[in-house]
Each structure stands twice: as structure tokens, then as C-alpha cells.
Structure 1
Amino acid sequence: MALDSSPESPQPLRVVVGALKNWVERTSPIWVEGQIVQLKRRAGYGIHFLTLRDKVADVSVQVSVSTATLDAAGPITEGTLVAAWMRATVYASNGSLTFECRDLRPSGEGRLLAHLEQRKRALQAEGLFSPDRKRPLPFLPTAIGLITGKDSAAERDVVHNIARRWPGARVVVEHALMQGPHTVEQVMAGLRAFDANEAVEVIIIARGGGSMEDLLPFSDETLARAVFHCRTPVVSAIGHETDTPILDLVADVRASTPTDAAKRVVPDAQAEAQVIATGVSRLRGAITRRILSEQQSLDALRSRPVLRDPGGALALHAERLGDLTGRLRRGIERSLERERGDLGHMLMRVRALSPQATLQRGYAIVTTDDGRTVSSIEQVEPDEIIVARLIDGDIAAAVVDVEPHNHDPQQEES
């Protein structure tokens, strides 16, 4: 509805903006195709903002979208071509024209990318991309299986670089279509053949770059599961480094290019020879330094007086030992002389006290006929047989008479 106005009675801004808002919002929602050039997700908020631009002309608009609408659209990133069901509106606070998005769907290549992303998430949830199940590549494989297009640049790159890096490596090739409806079937056939061949220790699936549609077979779920269940390690070398089909994620090793795949499956003979030469040189240097160090230590030991003249120390100790031996012998001899003297005195005293010495001085030991010693006249009777024991024999005699002495033996002793 038209608003009347003049310089003398202008319309308030709020009225004009409100009328414009009412007029704009009478338009019906419409599906719009455009490319997302900017996406601002706000954590903790229910409304987010994105910038949608025409894919041909330099025309862009601001779009508000709810969290639920974004989540329902799947993985949406900047650069994605989408179809958005939008309704135009005007913000009364600043009079800016914006659009509210009530449905968002990837279109064209964007829709294909969204489907691939959903497939990736499903396979990832099943554990097909888990690093724990990826097998290591053999250091020097006996035979290398290569699945690639016949007479393709990828085949030449892989075979040439493997031969250049390790001339003794053997490459077994299975040709397959690398694009088109029969790609998955033929690649899986080559995969099964190599996996059943025990001589093949690693498998390379190689293809050069191409459009997303050309590389689409290598994101096939059936092929991904076949690679996952393969017992032989698989190297994926599909497209260029920026291309990431699902095969790259499920394979044991992802190579950015076919040339990179050749570098990953075999070592560089020249580089390995250089490593060995460097190691040998370092080992020799270490051994030489150790020998020199030990020689210096040995020279230092040999320069010590005790090792320079080992007999000198022994002579000193021998001299000291001889001195101690002489002192010990002299001490033993003096001790023996003292003991001999003491023993002689003791023998003299014992001999002096022995009955034999008494007998030698002319005394006799008198006993009765039954062997009792006679020390008093009271122990014998006249006519009794007594025995007098001398130093050289015994005399048997008969007691004729017994006469006591008139003196006191105790007085004589005193």
C-alpha cells in the first residue's frame, strides 16, 4: 500500500521499514540454487548464518538457517552447491534484506559429496578405517601386485620407480578398467587373484588423476569391504594428493600418487647403500676411537712405577719378608731356649723327687711279702718275710729282730 508523504509531513523510518517488511514477506518461499561461500556455525546457538552466492553472476545474499536444518542436510562445507528453500524477510532493526532457509539440500556435485560423506561415516562407525587393523608393509616384498589400467601412466610410473629404486623387485600386473561401470568388478577380481597368491606380499591399486565422477568407483562400498577383508597389505594410489576416495581411507597405506606408492613399497637401494656405508664408517670410527682410548688407558697404566718395574715392589716386600722371617726365627729360638732351660730345671726337680733318685743314693724301698710299703717297724713282725727294692733288683729277707730308734724323727727334721 502506497504511503503519502511530503517534505512537510515525512513518514517515520519505522513505518517505511515496516511497510517494506510486510511487502517482502508476502512473497512465497522458493527453491534457490547457489554456492555456499561462507558458513558461520555458532556454538550454543540455534540459528547460524551463511552466505549464498550465484554460481555464475556476482550476486550473494545472507541466509539464516537453524541447527536442525543444517544437520539434516548432512555434511555441508564452504564451496558446496546447494538447493535452499528460502523465504525473504527484512530485519526491522536495520532494514537489511535477508533470507530464512527452511530446507537445505546439496545439489549436483555437492549432493554427491554429501552421499560420499554419509557413506564414509557409516564405514568409519563399523571400524573399516581404524588404524589398529592396518597392516605394516614388508620391508622387501618377494612380489608386488599392481592393479592398474593397461598402458596407463600410472602403470609406467609404478613399474619404472620400483625398478629404479630396487632393481631386484618383481612386479606382477593385473590390468583393469580404472573408470566406468565395470571398474569395481575388475579391480575386485585382480584383488582376489593377488590375495590368493602367497608370493604376492603387497598390492598396489593405482590410477592417475581425474574428475570426481571418474574416481567415484574407488569410493564404492563393496570395493572398500573387499580391501578391508584382504589378508595382503593394500596400498591405495588413486588420483592426486587432493583426491581422497574411500579406498584411501580403508587401505593399509595411502599414497598420494602412483610414484609415491612405488616409494612406499620398496626402499631406495642407493639410499640404503649410503645408510649402510655411513653406518660402517661410523662403526669404524667408533671402534678406532675406542681402541685409541683403551690404548691411552693401557699406556697410562704401564707408565706407573708398579707396572713399569713389577720386580721393584716385589723386591721391597721380599726384603721386608726376609727381615720379618729372621726376626720370627730368632724369637722362636729364644723362646725355645727359655723353654729348654725351664724344662731342664723342672726335670732336675722331678728327678730329685723321684724314688729312683733316692734308690741311686743307696736307699731301698721295703715292702711286705704282699706288696705293702713298710714305713715303720710297727708294720712288721719278727720272722716275717720282707722285700728290699734296690736300684738294680729286689732282696727278700726275713725279719730277725725289730728295734726302735731312741731319737724323735720330728726333732731331727726340725
Structure 2
Amino acid sequence: MNDDGAVQPRNGSNGVRVQGQDLADAAPSQPTTLPATAAETTAERPWPLHLLSEKLKAHLERAPAAWVEGQVIEVNRRSNMCFVTLRDVDAEVSLPLTIRGNVLSRLDVPLEHGSRVVAQLKPDFWLKTGRLSMQTWHIRQVGLGDLLARIERLRQSLSAEGLFAARLRKPLPLLPHRIGLITGRGSDAMKDVLRNASLRWPAVEFEIREVAVQGVGCVGQVTAALTELDAMPTVDVIIITRGGGSLEDLLPFSSEEMVRAVAAARTPVVSAIGHEADRPLIDEVADLRASTPTDAAKRVVPDVAEEFQRIRQSRAQLSRAIGTLVSRETERLAHLRSRPVLAQPEGMVSVRVDDVERLRGRARLAVTSAVSRDTDRVHHLRSQIRSLSPQNTLDRGYAVVQLEDGSIARDAAKTPPGSLLKIRLARGELAAATLESHHTPATNPEDTP
């Protein structure tokens, strides 16, 4: 037999040697050469049944041993052997185990129905009957301390991942119209939530999903119900609840699959598992943890009686506030009206009449004085201007002599005999001609025109 379980010819014979006997001798009617693999077999060239069994056995023997965890649901002891049926803790899957006496003897506590164990298994195939059994090499029971340690390790891992951060908590709606409820079938927890929520707010509606809340199928059913309710836009908040129980009963609510499903939900989730002392891991990721199912109902919906009382109190407070404001403003208006300025408004004007008359007289006097003073000043300036004007000089007997080009004659040397002159007097002008001129030299530079 080669590595893949195929049977090879031996010693040049036409048959195949299996378990110390030639196939040709055992079954002379079979073909002398068998197909090497199962894919090569046909109806005309089949394998003997024992060859398939041996190939299966060889293949399974190459499989390594594996550690598994499950719950014992059947124990059958026979002399030095024990036959056990082990079921998965989260799914409807079971497997038969074969345990030898020396393995059982190492257990501190005998195996019982319902025990939670971990076992190292290796598959074993019986050729004669074609049965598959799982040989158990090691087995030990999972105690309460092991479960708590496992939950604590998962808690630390998820916390380090940031799954428990407070910033991830979603606020609950003030008044949910429809509540999704995930609970056990016909459980007291469901009745508590429905009764207390309806008493507090009669108009509340529920979308109920009854699932297994412990044992096999709990994780899958709760997770599926959560996903379904989270996808419904009419559901405003989801409550996951069940009554109290042992640590093993509440263990599914600490499974990583369910914890991650609650953390991924877009709808706010309220966890109400067990009692106040119970704290599974979904409490760490839920948006609100309620100590009991009744507490969940009270914290999800408001009390209609309390709300009516608050409305009445708010109305009374508003009425008192408005009454106080109106009274205060009325008194303020009465106080303002009683003041003299508002009792006799004309008094505010009459007390200013004398001031206005006095200021008016002062203004009139100041303007008159300024006008008189400036009038005298104008007359004085006018007299000065007139006394300094050329006309006044001409009036005193002086004349202005101009040459033909209109320039003023200042030097006799520039008016030779025969020059035509124009003489301007105080009254009128004269035309003249130079008969002779006498030049007088200047003795002082300042006298030079």
C-alpha cells in the first residue's frame, strides 16, 4: 500500500497482497489490476469493499488528535470501556466517544449526564463493521473555575479591542413606539416585561422573538433573532432577557459570537439577563444593562401616570411664573405712573422756560455786541484804505505822469525833449510834451527808483 492508500502489486504476481493474502487467491474472479484511486473505479472495474475500508482507515489514521469541548448527554459503561455521546454546547451536533478504563481512572469525578468536558480525540475506523468511533486519549471536566477563567480571558481580550468603550453606547429613545423582545418561550421574563411595560405605557407595541435561552442553539437563535429585529426599521429598541440560572445556563450570553452581534447592532440593545448578581459579557456591550426583566421594562418606557403628573406640575409652574411676571410688571407700571414726571408731564417743560429766556437774552446780547464791534472795525479799515489809496494822494495835488507806452515816468533822463506824456490828475487827464528835462543823479541807492 502506498502513501495514498493504493495497493501495489508484489513479487511480480498478478494479484495484490492485502493482510498477508493475495487478492488473486481470495477472489479469482476480480481483475488482476485494480484502480489505484477511487476516481478511477467504474462499474466494470470496482474496488473490493475491504479495500475501500482499508483506505478509509489509513486516511483517518493520518489525522492528528484534536481537543474538543462538549456536554455529555449519554454514558454507557461496559466492563473496562465506556461509551459516551458528546454534544456541542452551541449546536445540534453530537459524536460518540470510546473511553478506555485507564483514561477514566484519571478523572477526579465520574462522568455524569450533563457534564461539560474537554477531550483529546482521534478518529478510529473499524474494518469489520465499518463504524467510525472517536478514541479518547485524555478527558477532563470543565469546572466552574475554568468557565470563569475563560470568560475573564475573553472579557480582557474584548476590552483591549475597545468593544466595551462607553463612547459606543447608543442612547435609548425617549418613547419607543415598538420594542423588540428576545426571550424564552413562554418564560416568566417575557411576561414580566410585557406586563410592566403595558402598565407603564399602554400604547407600547412589541415585536417578540421566542428562542432558546440556554443550552444548545441558544447562541445561534438569539443572534439570528437580534439580526432580524435590528433590520426592522419599526423597532426602536431591543430587549434581550431571561430569568436567573446557574453559570452554565447563562454561559451562552458570554459567548464571543453573541457579544459581537450585540456590539454590531445599530438599534439600541438592553440586556436583562438573570438577576442583579449575574453579569454575562453582553452586559458590557449592551447600550443599557437592566438588573432584571422588570427593571428593563421600567427603564425602556416611561410611566404614563408620572408623565401626566409632570405635565400637571409643568402647567402649574408655568401658570405661577406667568402670574408672577404679570403682577410684577403691573406694580412696576403703577410705580412709574406715580412719579412726578409722569403725573405732570408739562412740569418738565415749564421749569426750563426761565432758562431758555435767559439763554436767549444772552445770545441776543452777544450777537449785538459782536455786530457793533465788527461794524466799527469795518469803518476803521475803510478809513485806512481810503487814506492810503492813490486817489487820496491825487486829491492832495499830486499827479501821475505816464509815458507813451503807459509806463510811469520816474526818471527825467528817460523823458527826453519831445516825449509825449499823459498826466493823470485828481479829476481828469492832460496830454503834454517834454520841452526840456533835467536829470538829477541819485545820491542814495535807496532813493533810486
Q: 1:227-266 to 2 correspondence within 5 Å?
A: 227-266=262-301
State whether residues 243 and 273 of structure 2, in contact with CA within 8 Å, keep that contact through their aligned partners in structure 1.
yes
Per-residue deviation, residues 165-215 of structure 1 (Å, max 9, x unmatched):
223322101112334434333323322221232332322122234455554
Q: By how many angstroms is 1:121 displaced?
A: 0.8
What SS does structure 1 have at the residue aligned with 2:182?
strand
Q: In the alignment, which residue of structure 2 is the partner of 1:116?
A: 147
Superposed CA RMSD in Å reads: 3.9
Per-residue deviation, residues 327-374 of structure 1 (Å, max 9, x unmatched):
12322211221221232233234334434345557x462525545667
Farther off after superposition, 336-345 or 374-383: 374-383
Identity of aligned residues (%): 43
Partner AA of 1:331 in structure 2? A
What SS does structure 1 have at the residue aligned with 2:271?
strand
Farther off after superposition, 266-275 or 345-354: 345-354
Alpha-carbon distance change, 164 to 398 in structure 1, aligned in 2, over 3 angstroms: same
State whether residues 161 and 262 of structure 1, in contact with CA within 8 Å, keep that contact through their aligned partners in structure 2.
yes
Alpha-carbon distance change, 145 to 385 in structure 1, aligned in 2, over 3 angstroms: closer
Q: In the alignment, which residue of structure 2 is the partner of 1:130?
A: 164
Q: In the alignment, which residue of structure 2 is the partner of 1:331?
A: 366
Q: TM-score, normalised by structure 1?
A: 0.58
Distance, in Å, in 1 between the alignment partners of 2:208 and 2:341 is 76
Per-residue deviation, residues 223-276 of structure 1 (Å, max 9, x unmatched):
344334433332222333344444444433222222211112122233233334
Alpha-carbon distance change, 278 to 127 in structure 1, aligned in 2, over 3 angstroms: farther
> Is 1:145–2:149 an aligned residue pair?
no
State whether residues 364 and 388 of structure 1, in contact with CA within 8 Å, keep that contact through their aligned partners in structure 2.
no
Partner AA of 1:155 in structure 2? M
Farther off after superposition, 286-295 or 333-342: 286-295
Q: TM-score, normalised by structure 2?
A: 0.54
Distance, in Å, in 1 between the alignment partners of 2:392 and 2:152 is 130
Distance, in Å, in 2 between the alignment partners of 1:177 and 1:387 is 144
Partner AA of 1:122 in structure 2? R
Q: In the alignment, which residue of structure 1 is the partner of 2:119?
A: none
Aligned length: 293
Q: In the alignment, which residue of structure 2 is the partner of 1:365?
A: 399
Farther off after superposition, 122-131 or 145-154: 122-131
Q: In the alignment, which residue of structure 2 is the partner of 1:58?
A: none
State whether residues 219 and 245 of structure 1, in contact with CA within 8 Å, keep that contact through their aligned partners in structure 2.
yes
Farther off after superposition, 393-402 or 244-253: 393-402
Q: In the alignment, which residue of structure 2 is the partner of 1:354?
A: 389
Gaps of 5+ in 2: 1-140, 438-449
What SS does structure 2 have at the residue aligned with 1:126?
helix
Q: In the alignment, which residue of structure 2 is the partner of 1:268?
A: 303
Distance, in Å, in 1 between the alignment partners of 2:386 and 2:169 is 111
> Is 1:203–2:238 an aligned residue pair?
yes
Distance, in Å, in 2 between the alignment partners of 1:378 and 1:164 is 139
Distance, in Å, in 1 between the alignment partners of 2:418 and 2:263 is 141
What SS does structure 2 have at the residue aligned with 1:136?
coil
What SS does structure 2 have at the residue aligned with 1:339?
helix
State whether residues 399 and 426 of structure 2, in contact with CA within 8 Å, keep that contact through their aligned partners in structure 1.
no
Alpha-carbon distance change, 399 to 201 in structure 1, aligned in 2, over 3 angstroms: closer
Alpha-carbon distance change, 366 to 146 in structure 1, aligned in 2, over 3 angstroms: closer
Q: By how many angstroms is 1:145 displaced?
A: 0.9
Alpha-carbon distance change, 167 to 398 in structure 1, aligned in 2, over 3 angstroms: same
Q: In the alignment, which residue of structure 2 is the partner of 1:163?
A: 198
Q: 1:342 aligns with which of 368, 377, 383?
A: 377
Farther off after superposition, 232-241 or 368-377: 368-377
Distance, in Å, in 2 between the alignment partners of 1:383 and 1:197 is 134
Alpha-carbon distance change, 285 to 116 in structure 1, aligned in 2, over 3 angstroms: farther
Q: 1:2-401 to 2 correspondence within 5 Å?
A: 112-127=143-158, 130-132=164-166, 133-210=168-245, 214-306=249-341, 308-309=343-344, 311-317=346-352, 319-357=354-392, 359=394, 363=397, 365=399, 367=401, 369-370=403-404, 387-397=422-432
Distance, in Å, in 1 between the alignment partners of 2:196 and 2:333 is 54
State whether residues 400 and 425 of structure 2, in contact with CA within 8 Å, keep that contact through their aligned partners in structure 1.
no
Q: In the alignment, which residue of structure 1 is the partner of 2:71?
A: none
